[in-house]
Amino acid sequence: MDPILGFDLGTTNSVVSIIKDGKPEVLCDELGQGILPSVVGLASDGRLLVGQEARNQALVAPERTVKSIKRRMGEDVQVPMAGKDYSPQEISAMILRTLKDRAAKALGRTCTKAVITVPAFFSENQREATRQAGEMAGLDVVRIINEPTAASLIYEPHSERNERVLVYDLGGGTFDVSIVQIEQGVVEVLASHGDTHLGGDDFDQLLLDYVCDAFAKEHGVDLREVPTARSRMLQAVEEAKKRLSFDAYTTIAEEFIAEKDGKPLHVNMVIDRREYEPLIEPLLKKTLICVDAALDDAKMHARQIDRVILVGGSTRTPLVHQLLAEQLHQELHSEIDPDQCVALGAAVQGGLIAGVDVGPVLVDITPHTLGIQVLGELHGMVSGDVFSPIIERNTALPASRSEVYYTSHDGQKVVRVDVYQGENRNVRFNQTVGGFALEGLNEEAEQGSEILVRFQLDLDGILTVTAVERKSGLEKQLRIDNAVTRFRAKSQADAKAKLATMFEQAGEETFVDRAITEAAKQPDASEPRFEEAHASIAKARRLIQEAPTEDAAEMRKLVGELQEAVAAADADRVEQVREQLDDLVFYLQDA
Ligand code: AMP
């Protein structure tokens, strides 16, 4: 059977994919772009523009451009473009045709068979209109499937297990949440709710207003009133919004954006994630109401959901993760690119129809959360052992994230950046990865001076940690090789299950043994003060194999405690436990 293309015909963006060598893959244009903006236009010379070029002209020539046509699918209307009228099907067909041509170029052959996705709430009319658009584009539409079905297929192509999946899809212009049931390979949408006018575009608008209001206050000029300035600012704030998903703050810089009294005006503004998040929080709260409504309709509690999948570009926003995790008390899955997930799922469906053996999408992810030790609140008490996550587990690699922290007293000269991996709120229960001190801070600075900590984790598991004193720019960097063992998304569940069984069988001892191995492998080079402790641990380790059971157990316990004391940089405790361990080692050596 001919290969079947999978199309995600989105409101903001569209994507085409196919099964290649048993794996779903997005097909890119000559520039390597997988995403095609769902915008169609006619240039002033009459040339048809589809995608980024059309998007670029949308603000300056709206009368020659059509955006978000998906909202009109199924309606008996004509939309004007450069003085002529087109049906929604015709405009959608231009997008599909562009993607079909892209696929032909990428594959070196024409494929006509297609699976196209639509929102779960689409009526029969809307589905039929989508099918017609496909046919107009020269496609043989073998199936129309629901977007949440496609998303769940990509995470579980051959699930024999019965699973209930919640798909939270927040794109550029629309939001929907669906509860999907997979039973013996049959996927059914049990409930779906949403808001067809809520998405990343609203976040852009809110940030645009925030920035333009501040600019107007300072310069007395409203950039929103000048079309070219507005268009530039809209692009600038969207880019800034995207950066804020990974960085704690970012700069919006647009030179010569306007003029006043014959003098040029420039935008140069730093936006903090903490300023941005309150702007969008009310909209995200609305999405949570829809989540509850969908659960109600499906007659389910959040705890009955087996898997939560995030789809749509706007789900990269950290506040989405935070609010949703708090609401559902569940781990969230976003390791497969949220922009590509639906199209990849459509290709999987195509593969299943064509009888192709479809394997999982393999993504490199972080198996553990990586973060640093900070002063904070633990069980209602102030503690210096609080674990502050920076890169959450299951994040696709490579990943870069930054967070801002604060000094704890006036005139603080040094901050320590101690890196841990694990899931516990208390660093003592996580594993130490490495650390360093940022010395020479501005002594004039008061308590609360900002320190930016950035983690960059590459595909080889190399973690680069950078700490910067925000005001002075004082910076220090540490590179940690093998900070994590790479895990591939598919094998992660198996690995987790295997690990859990190992721990069950071996009980506490395995845990202590592991601490010993880590100590031998990874002496904390940044802590020369504790060299003696590492030497004691190494000695103990050599003796453990031959020691009588009781002594070996005691030695393991002390080694574990010493490891924890070193990790917590607790010099007194290190000294105390090291002496006990040395005594035992001395006794055993002589025995
Ligand atoms: P979609 O409709 O799924 O293609 O999503 C497009 C929306 O995702 C647009 O509003 C983008 O600005 C938004 N988006 C893309 N990347 C990010 C990001 N890193 N952080 C926040 N929003 C993003």
Q: How far apart are CA 168 and CA 193, in angstroms?
A: 10
Shared domain check, 473 and 379:
yes
Say if residue 239 is in the same domain as residue 310: no
Q: Are 431 and 421 in contact (CB under 8 A)?
A: yes
> Looking at the structure, do residues 471 and 456 belong to the same domain, yes or no?
yes
* Domain membership flag for residue 493: no
**Do 194 and 343 belong together in one domain?**
yes
Last residue of a domain, one of 261, 279, 297: 279
Separation between Cα atoms, residue 313 and residue 292, nearest integer Å:
22
Cα of 172 vs centre of ligand 1, distance in Å, is 6
Using only the alpha carbons of the chain, give its radius of gyration.
28
DSSP label at residue 445: P
Q: How far apart are CA 550 and CA 75, in angstroms?
A: 79
Question: Ligand 1, atom 22: nearest CA belongs to which residue?
Answer: 314
Cα first-last separation, the chain: 76
pLDDT in tens, 464-493: 999 999 999 999 999 988 776 655 655 545
State the distance from the centre of ligand 1 to the C-alpha of 199, rounded, in angstroms: 9
319 and 350 belong to one structural domain: yes
**Secondary structure class of 567 (helix, strand, coil):** helix
SS3 readout for 178-201: EEEEEECCEEEEEEEEEECCCCHH
Q: Is 70 a catalytic residue?
A: yes
How do residues 375-407 score in pLDDT, each as one tens digit? 998 888 888 999 999 999 889 989 999 999 999
* Predicted local confidence at residue 42, as pLDDT: 96
Taking 50 as the pLDDT cut, the residues of the chain under it are 492, 495-496, 498-527
User: What are the residues whose beta carbons fall under 8 Å from the beta carbon of 368, sequence distance 6 or more?
Assistant: 393, 421, 422, 423, 431, 484
Q: Which of 232, 261, 279 is the last residue of a domain?
A: 279
- With a 6 Å cutoff on the Cβ, whether 119 touches ligand 1 is no
Judge whether 501 lies within some domain. Answer: no
Residues 38 and 166 in one domain: yes
- Which domain CATH number covers 18? 3.30.420.40
Q: Is the beta carbon of 200 within 6 A of some atom in ligand 1? A: yes
Residue tagged active-site, from 25, 90, 156, 169: 169
Measured CA to CA in angstroms, residue 173 lies from 99, 285, 293, 312 at distances of 21, 16, 20, 10
DSSP conformation letters of 26-63: E---TTS---EESEEEE-TTS-EEESHHHHHHHTT-GG
Q: Is residue 249 part of a domain?
A: yes
pLDDT at 446: 86
CA of 174 to the centre of ligand 1 (A): 11
C-alpha 38/C-alpha 66 separation (Å) is: 9
Looking at the fold, whether 252 and 290 belong to one and the same domain comes out as no
| CATH code of the domain covering residue 436 | 2.60.34.10
In-domain check, residue 360:
no
- Of 4, 1, 2, the residue nearest 348 (C-alpha): 4
Output the CA torsion sign for 341, 347, 350, 356: negative
How many domains does the chain divide into? 4
Cα–Cα distance, 212 to 360 (Å, whole number):
45
Q: Which of 241, 310, 342, 402 to mutate to test the pocket of ligand 1 (most atoms within 8 A of CB)?
A: 241
The protein residue whose alpha carbon is closest to atom 15 in ligand 1 is 313
Q: Which two tokens stand for residue 230?
A: 């507005």
- Burial of residue 580 (CB within 10 Å: 0-12, 13-18, 19+) is middle
Burial of 278 by CB count in 10 Å (0-12 exposed, 13-18 middle, 19+ buried)?
exposed
Q: Is 8 a catalytic residue?
A: yes
Burial class (CB in 10 A: 0-12, 13-18, 19+), 30: exposed
348 in Cβ contact with 19 (< 8 Å): yes
Residue 23: active-site member: no
Contacts of residue 117, defined as CB under 8 A and 6 or more positions apart, other chains included, come to: 6, 7, 8, 9, 144, 145, 146, 147, 150, 342, 343, 345, 346
Where residue 235 sits, what CATH number does that domain have?
3.90.640.10
Rounded distance from Cα 433 to ligand 1 centre (Å): 33
Sign of the alpha-carbon torsion through 182, 183, 185, 187: negative
Q: Is 172 in the pocket of ligand 1 (CB under 6 A)?
A: yes
Whether the model clears a pTM of 0.75, i.e. scores above it, the answer is: yes
CA atoms within 13 A on the CB side of 122: 28
Q: Catalytic site residue 76?
A: no
Range(s) of the domain holding residue 223: 200-279
386: tokens are: 């609080």
Phi and psi angles of residue 548, each rounded to the nearest 5 degrees, phi first: -60, 150
pLDDT at 528: 52
Which helix (H) or strand (E) segment holds residue 123: the answer is none
Say what the alpha-carbon torsion angle 205, 210, 214, 220 is, to the nearest 10 degrees: 30
Same domain? 193 vs 207: no
Both 261 and 389 in one domain: the answer is no
* pLDDT recorded at residue 556: 81
Residues 341 and 375 grouped into a single domain? no
Residue 243 Cβ < 6 Å to ligand 1: no
Residue with tokens 């998405």: 199
Question: Does residue 361 sit within a domain?
Answer: no
Cα–Cα distance list, 104 to 16, 28, 90, 247, 520 (Å): 11, 11, 21, 38, 55
Domain closes at, from 279, 296, 312: 279
Out of 67, 70, 100, 241, the active site residue is 70
Whether 123 and 208 map to the same domain: the answer is no
Q: In degrees rounded to 5, what are phi and psi of residue 259?
A: -135, 145
* Ligand 1 closest atom vs CA 243: 19
In a shared domain, residues 377 and 445: yes
Expressed in angstroms and rounded, the spacing between residue 242 Cα and the centre of ligand 1 is 7
Structural domain includes residue 166: yes
498 in a structural domain: no
Would 499 be classed as within a structural domain?
Answer: no
